[in-house]
Chains A and B, each alone.
Chain A
Amino acid sequence: MKKMKTNLDERQEQMLLKIECRGCWMAFWGLLAAIFIQMIIGRGEIQYILGEWIVFMALAFYLVISCMKNGIWDRHLKPNRKTNVISSLLAGAVTGVLYFLIYKNRGAKTDDNLWLALFMAVITFVLCFAALEISAIVYKKRSDRIENQEEPEDEK
């Protein structure tokens, strides 16, 4: 495919990539915040958050699949069990707090509220941990494959 002519030089191109990268993460966290806020204020039904949820999931899947394909995990974190447990615990804790607030706003009793929030936190932890473990296995396989690819004859 023919490349389109660019008006930018290499520094401007890098700067634009940085700006677009920041924009992407702002959209990612902004969408997540929007979904959480709608859930807390009682508009958590699927018809209210469907649009945000679809865009958020599409963005998340795109990022995960692209990174996996290129053998990239994370800038700082490594795909090991300790990191996966900590990340999943964090996700569980955030979900627990979120559901505590949601049930509280719906007028549930504090005891029931706590148990429901704890249940959601545990479910989130388990699902998150499973997803991270599976992703880590896929990543390691992909990464090994890329690293051990044979050099084409003309590049040797």
Chain B
Amino acid sequence: MKNLRLKSARAAFDMSQQELAQAVGVSRQTINAIEKGDYNPTIKLCRKICRVLGKNLDELFWEDDDDEENEN
């Protein structure tokens, strides 16, 4: 499932995927894969992303029950 919240939070900061990737110390492909829902980041990386974007884990990575059902 796509992570549109991460994408919009990044856009609100006017950051490119490359810039966010550099800020958290991963490759651009990894940020792209997270936004596309192709990769589930570890809690460690989630926290780094949250710190850079000034959000908390719930705001960026929490999935509602509906989301989880859609995924299954």
**Interface residues in chain A, defined as those with a beta carbon under 8 Å from any beta carbon in chain B:** 9-12
Contact = CB atoms under 8 A, between A and B. Distances in A.
Q: Lowest 8 CB-CB distances: which A-B pairs, in order?
A: A9-B26, A11-B30, A11-B39, A9-B30, A9-B27, A10-B42, A11-B33, A10-B45
Nearest to B41: A10
- Identify whether the interface residues of B are mostly helix, strand, loop, or mixed: loop
18 contacts: A9-B25, A9-B27, A9-B30, A9-B45, A10-B26, A10-B30, A10-B41, A10-B42, A10-B44, A10-B45, A11-B26, A11-B27, A11-B29, A11-B30, A11-B33, A11-B41, A12-B27, A12-B30
Nearest to B44: A10
- Identify whether the interface residues of A are mostly helix, strand, loop, or mixed: helix
A148 B26 CA distance: 38
A39 to B, nearest CB: 44
Most buried by B among A9, A11, A12: A11
A10 B42 CA distance: 8
Contacts of B29: 11-12
A45 B33 CA distance: 51
